[in-house]
């Protein structure tokens, strides 16, 4: 089976290379024979990569340690659940997983568009195949997951214990689905540039793909934060680590694109800007892959054998140069005939939102690459830590939060100042009430506390602004149709999925902002060395160390569990079981934290150390409002689902357009 | 030759056949895309703009109903959008008539 897996990878590379060339030649030479030949390749490549992936998965599930990759990331005792996730646990498998996702996306695009626009689609397929060629080349010749060990060992080295967490089964595939998904809009954008089809056809063809990729990238970031929170055991969820930043930057740029593209659809303008944002988003996904696989930056998230940096750097340069050249060449065709109607309009607020999002992305990018630049220029690696990011990004983030509230209140095209005053009245009043109500409760001693206070006030402003939008829309519908409030609310949301789905996403973002602010400013922690039966207090909780238990969980894993009784107001409230896990062959034990999560705060417990006399060092964090962030994530998921849901009205309009087009300009066969 | 190599050979031959067959037929004589009529692109572009302008009018109405825009501004913008829509419809009509004329001329 391993031979087949390795062989099909080679066949996939050769086929993808042929497909790429044949698609381009078919479009340039206007040859249908070449197109029909090339048109078989996406499916063949997908089938080959899938067979190869099945072979590798089989090797994991059957403990085939003749493969170096299986030996390095699995062992006999590993749960089947984690054997599956070991597939993408290391560099080799993760690249194969990337190729599998990309080829799957490509096949879906192939079935969706193969007969739609034959001037653009061949180039788009060629671009996707070219990206696949790059990954398949690396998999075949530089980091082959089917590399053999001449004398297979009895057992494997095992998966890094930090990766043995259910979030690690969910987080990487979700993030990859987002990363890889942006290849589709990128491919169509490049195809539109090459074929000079620069109306907004390519945008319409990839609108759903952009939304889906954005959704997965957003969820991937949040799942990664959840993993860091429960597994890394340092009490936090985000550390501005280079790899976290690498996943965050494409999300920011894609968010900017999702907003600005609406202006192109409505007013047929900002073509260069949107094109640049799509290309930049894809470049950032490759930059993220470069960061995790270059070995240049130290992070808990980088791969052990990160040696592919130069390949990715070269690929990145080729992409940036080629795309820049294409945009410059096509500049005359990308010019907009229209202008903004007014500076005071939703379009302008979207432009500001774009600048703010790009500002955060640039600051994050600078902080991420600064260690590399400082080492290259001065020979000293200067690490940029959270203070830099917080100092720069928090004020810009607050501006972004304010814009989320301002946007919905402003009309498209032109807002009237007097109406603006009227519409801003309620959100501003609520913001003032929040500000006054919080003033005696919240300390304002430090800059962090002031920023947190401002965040809560702005959250009040934004939530009111969004909820007022829902209310006004509903009441307006009720005035026109005889419907109940709930019925009108449902109809108005369902008939304007993009608008109201977007508002729901914004509510999720507000919850995340509030969660971050609360947990960053008002968290507290303490560390105590306790004998059995001893207690300590933190934020009204009395924590008593009751017992320490050792369990041989498996032949390679020993669990040391502390039992901590939590009392509140004199009553037993909860029992926490933080633990340390020792894995055979691993030098460092892994902390498994225990968290009591409520809407108000998280009680987060870590067994930091223990001794033979059963005394233990316990670390306890009280992190306020962390669950608001996770709730915000689910709200974003719900809003995204509404936005992504197929719109029958839009489909009907598209079909009508195609029908009229076909009537007047029939294809030669019909004529 | 082992069974695995035999399977590999079958796979390669099958792929070559699937990919190669379209290259050895009469398809060479056919074109992938007929020469693009610039009017066709223009027509499609106008259909899209028509849709977007009608959606903009609806949204303007919605913004007016939800008190985001004053009556004079609403009237002015609505007039502007209606004029835009009118121009687009005129252009669409013009293209349709021209196309039909050319068609009947060709068939005659």
- Closest residue on chain B to A267 (Cα): B52
* Residue A610 belongs to some domain of the structure: yes
The pLDDT, as a whole number, for residue A294 is 66
Stronger pLDDT, A339 or A543, i.e. the higher one = A543
Q: Does B10 touch chain A (CB under 8 A)?
A: no
**Cβ separation of B19 and A44 shorter than 8 Å?**
yes
Give the mutation candidate from B1, B40, B42, B48 for the A interface (greatest A CB count, under 10 A): B48
- Counted domains in chain B: 2
Q: Lowest mean pLDDT: which of A92-101, A298-307, B62-71?
A: A298-307
Collapse the DSSP code of A670 into the 3-class scheme (helix H, G, I; strand E, B; otherwise coil) and give the result: coil
- Cβ-proximal residues to A300 (8 Å cutoff; 6+ apart), any chain: A162, A232, A241, A243
* Residue A165 belongs to some domain of the structure: no
Stronger pLDDT, B38 or A424, i.e. the higher one = A424
Please indicate, yes or no, whether residues B93 and B57 belong to a single structural domain of this protein.
yes
**Cβ separation of A409 and B68 shorter than 8 Å?**
yes
Please indicate, yes or no, whether residues B39 and B23 belong to a single structural domain of this protein.
no
Query: Tokens for A63?
Result: 């403990």
* Residue A59 belongs to some domain of the structure: yes
**Cβ separation of A26 and B32 shorter than 8 Å?**
yes
Mean pLDDT estimate for chain A = 89
How confident is the model over B77-89, as pLDDT tens digits?
899 899 989 999 9
| Helices A2-29 and A121-141, axial angle in degrees (round to 10) | 150
Q: Lowest mean pLDDT: which of A43-47, A218-222, A338-342, A620-624?
A: A338-342
Full residue range of the structural domain in which residue B44 is found: 34-107
Question: Which ipTM score applies to this complex?
Answer: 0.81
- Closest residue on chain A to B73 (Cα): A416
Q: Does B33 touch chain A (CB under 8 A)?
A: yes
B46-50: average pLDDT? 87
Q: Does B17 touch chain A (CB under 8 A)?
A: no
Please indicate, yes or no, whether residues B23 and B60 belong to a single structural domain of this protein.
no
Q: How far is CA A448 from the centre of its chain?
A: 26
Please indicate, yes or no, whether residues B100 and B63 belong to a single structural domain of this protein.
yes
Round to whole Å and give the CA distance between A545 and A564. Answer: 5
DSSP track, A144-170? -TT-B-SS--SS-----GGG-SHHHHH
A29-49: average pLDDT? 91
Please indicate, yes or no, whether residues B26 and B38 belong to a single structural domain of this protein.
no
Round to whole Å and give the CA distance between A126 and A18. Answer: 10
The secondary element (H helix, E strand) that includes residue A542 is strand A541-552
**Cβ separation of B95 and A664 shorter than 8 Å?**
yes
The pLDDT, as a whole number, for residue A671 is 38
The pLDDT, as a whole number, for residue A670 is 40
pTM for this model (two decimals): 0.90
- Closest residue on chain A to B9 (Cα): A7
Q: Does B9 touch chain A (CB under 8 A)?
A: no
**Cβ separation of A667 and B77 shorter than 8 Å?**
no
Please indicate, yes or no, whether residues B52 and B19 belong to a single structural domain of this protein.
no
Q: Is 50 exceeded by the pLDDT of residue A669?
A: no
Collapse the DSSP code of A395 into the 3-class scheme (helix H, G, I; strand E, B; otherwise coil) and give the result: helix
Please indicate, yes or no, whether residues B93 and B44 belong to a single structural domain of this protein.
yes
Q: Does A262 touch chain B (CB under 8 A)?
A: no
Q: Does B85 touch chain A (CB under 8 A)?
A: no
A49-75: average pLDDT? 92
- Counted domains in chain A: 2
Please indicate, yes or no, whether residues B96 and B69 belong to a single structural domain of this protein.
yes
* Residue A651 belongs to some domain of the structure: no
The pLDDT, as a whole number, for residue A213 is 95
**Cβ separation of B27 and A416 shorter than 8 Å?**
no
* Residue entry with tokens 């099945």: A54
Full residue range of the structural domain in which residue A555 is found: 524-627
* Residue A551 belongs to some domain of the structure: yes
How confident is the model over A458-515, as pLDDT tens digits?
999 999 999 999 999 899 888 888 889 999 999 999 988 989 999 999 999 999 999 9
Please indicate, yes or no, whether residues B26 and B71 belong to a single structural domain of this protein.
no
Q: Is 70 exceeded by the pLDDT of residue A304?
A: no
Round to whole Å and give the CA distance between A433 and A295. Answer: 51
Assess contact for A350 and A407: CB atoms under 8 A. yes
Please identify, among A120, A137, A159, the residue that sits at the C-terminal boundary of a domain. A159
* Residue A107 belongs to some domain of the structure: yes
How confident is the model over A548-590, as pLDDT tens digits?
999 988 777 889 999 999 999 889 989 999 999 888 777 788 8
Please indicate, yes or no, whether residues B11 and B54 belong to a single structural domain of this protein.
no
Q: Does B102 touch chain A (CB under 8 A)?
A: no
Q: Give CA angle at A659 (A655, A663), nearest 5°.
A: 170
Q: Does A665 touch chain B (CB under 8 A)?
A: yes
Q: A175 pLDDT band (50/70/90 cuts)?
A: very high
Give the mutation candidate from B17, B19, B29 for the A interface (greatest A CB count, under 10 A): B19
Please identify, among A116, A143, A159, the residue that sits at the C-terminal boundary of a domain. A159
Q: Does A179 touch chain B (CB under 8 A)?
A: no
* CB < 8 Å from B in window 627-656 of A: 653
Cα Rg of chain A (Å, integer) = 27
Q: Is 60 exceeded by the pLDDT of residue A286?
A: yes
A614-623: average pLDDT? 94
- A538 DSSP β-pair partners: A541
Q: Which residues of B touch A416 (CB under 8 A)?
A: 68-70, 73
Please indicate, yes or no, whether residues B92 and B65 belong to a single structural domain of this protein.
yes
* Residue A511 belongs to some domain of the structure: no
Closest CA to A564 of A599, A582, A600, A538: A538
- A524 DSSP β-pair partners: A622
Chain B nearest C-alpha distance from A246 (Å): 36
Chain B nearest C-alpha distance from A148 (Å): 17
Chain A nearest C-alpha distance from B28 (Å): 6
Considering only the beta carbons, identify the residue of B8, B18, B19 that sits closest to A7: B8
- Closest residue on chain B to A265 (Cα): B52
* Residue A643 belongs to some domain of the structure: no
Please indicate, yes or no, whether residues B22 and B44 belong to a single structural domain of this protein.
no
């Amino acid at each position: 089976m391993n031979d087949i897996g390795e062989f099909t990878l080679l066949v996939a590379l050769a086929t993808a290379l042929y497909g790429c060339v044949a698609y381009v030649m078919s479009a340039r030479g206007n040859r249908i024979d070449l197109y029909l030949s090339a048109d078989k390749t996406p499916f063949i490549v997908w089938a080959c990569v899938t067979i190869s992936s099945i072979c590798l998965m089989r090797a994991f599930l059957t403990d085939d340690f003749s493969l170096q990759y299986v030996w390095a990331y699995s062992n006999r005792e590993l749960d089947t659940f984690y054997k599956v996730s070991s597939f993408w646990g290391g560099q080799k498998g993760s690249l194969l997983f990337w190729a599998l996702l990309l080829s799957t996306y490509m096949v879906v695009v192939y079935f969706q568009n193969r007969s739609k626009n034959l001037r653009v689609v061949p180039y788009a397929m060629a671009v996707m195949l070219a990206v696949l060629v790059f990954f398949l080349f690396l998999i075949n010749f530089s980091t082959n997951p089917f590399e053999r060990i001449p004398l297979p060992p009895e057992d494997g080295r095992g998966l890094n214990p930090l990766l043995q967490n259910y979030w690690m089964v969910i987080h990487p595939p979700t993030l990859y689905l987002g990363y890889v998904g942006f290849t589709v809009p990128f491919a169509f954008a490049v195809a539109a540039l090459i074929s000079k089809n620069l109306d907004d056809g390519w945008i319409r063809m990839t609108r759903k793909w952009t939304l889906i990729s954005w959704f997965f990238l957003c969820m991937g970031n949040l799942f990664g934060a959840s993993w860091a929170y429960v597994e890394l055991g340092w009490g936090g969820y985000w550390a501005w680590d280079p790899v976290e930043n690498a996943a965050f930057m494409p999300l920011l740029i894609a968010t900017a694109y999702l907003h600005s593209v609406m202006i192109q659809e409505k007013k047929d303008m900002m073509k260069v800007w949107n094109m640049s944002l799509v290309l930049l988003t894809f470049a950032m996904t490759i930059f993220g892959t470069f960061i995790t696989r270059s070995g240049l930056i130290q992070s808990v998230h980088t791969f052990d054998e990160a040696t592919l940096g130069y390949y990715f750097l070269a690929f990145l340069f080729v992409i940036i140069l080629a795309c820049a050249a294409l945009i410059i060449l096509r500049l005359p065709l990308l010019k907009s005939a229209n202008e903004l109607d007014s500076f005071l309009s939703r379009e302008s607020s979207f432009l500001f939102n774009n600048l703010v999002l790009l500002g955060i992305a640039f600051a994050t990018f600078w902080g991420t690459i600064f260690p590399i630049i400082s080492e290259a220029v001065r020979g000293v690696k200067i690490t940029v830590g959270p203070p830099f990011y917080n100092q720069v990004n928090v004020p810009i983030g607050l501006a972004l939060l304010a814009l989320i509230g301002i946007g919905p209140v402003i009309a498209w095209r032109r807002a009237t100042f007097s109406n603006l005053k009227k519409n801003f009245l309620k959100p501003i009043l609520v913001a003032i009430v929040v500000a006054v109500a919080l003033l005696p409760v919240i300390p304002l001693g430090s800059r962090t506390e002031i920023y947190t206070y401002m965040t809560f006030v702005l959250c009040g402003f934004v939530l009111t602004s969004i909820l007022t939008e829902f209310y006004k829309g509903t009441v307006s519908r009720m005035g026109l149709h005889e419907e109940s409030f709930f019925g009108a609310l449902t109809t108005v949301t369902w008939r304007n999925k993009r608008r109201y789905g977007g508002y729901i996403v914004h509510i999720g973002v507000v919850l995340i902002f509030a969660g971050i602010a609360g947990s960053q400013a008002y968290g507290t922690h303490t560390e105590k060395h306790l004998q059995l039966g001893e207690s300590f207090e933190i934020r009204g909780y009395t924590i008593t160390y009751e017992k320490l238990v050792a369990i041989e969980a498996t032949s390679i894993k020993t669990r040391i569990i502390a039992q901590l009784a939590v009392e509140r107001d004199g009553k037993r409230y909860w029992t926490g079981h933080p633990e340390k896990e020792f894995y055979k062959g691993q030098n460092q034990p892994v902390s498994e934290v225990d968290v009591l999560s409520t809407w108000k705060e998280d009680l987060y417990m870590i067994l930091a150390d223990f001794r033979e006399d059963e005394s233990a060092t316990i670390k306890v964090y009280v992190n306020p409002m962390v669950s608001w962030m996770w709730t915000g994530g689910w709200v974003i998921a719900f809003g995204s689902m509404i936005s992504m849901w197929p719109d029958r009205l839009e489909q009907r309009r598209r079909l009508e357009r195609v029908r009229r087009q076909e009537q007047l300009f029939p294809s030669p066969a019909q004529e | 030759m082992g069974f695995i190599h035999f399977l590999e050979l079958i796979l390669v031959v099958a792929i070559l056949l699937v990919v190669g067959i379209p290259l050895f037929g009469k398809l060479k004589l056919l074109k992938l895309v007929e020469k693009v009529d610039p009017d066709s692109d223009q027509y499609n572009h106008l259909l899209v703009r028509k849709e977007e302008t009608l959606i903009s009018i609806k949204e303007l109405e919605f913004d007016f109903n939800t008190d985001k825009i004053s009556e004079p501004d609403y009237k002015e913008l609505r007039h502007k959008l209606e004029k835009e829509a009118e121009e687009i419809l005129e252009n669409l009509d013009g293209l349709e008539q021209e196309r039909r004329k050319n068609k009947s001329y060709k068939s005659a």
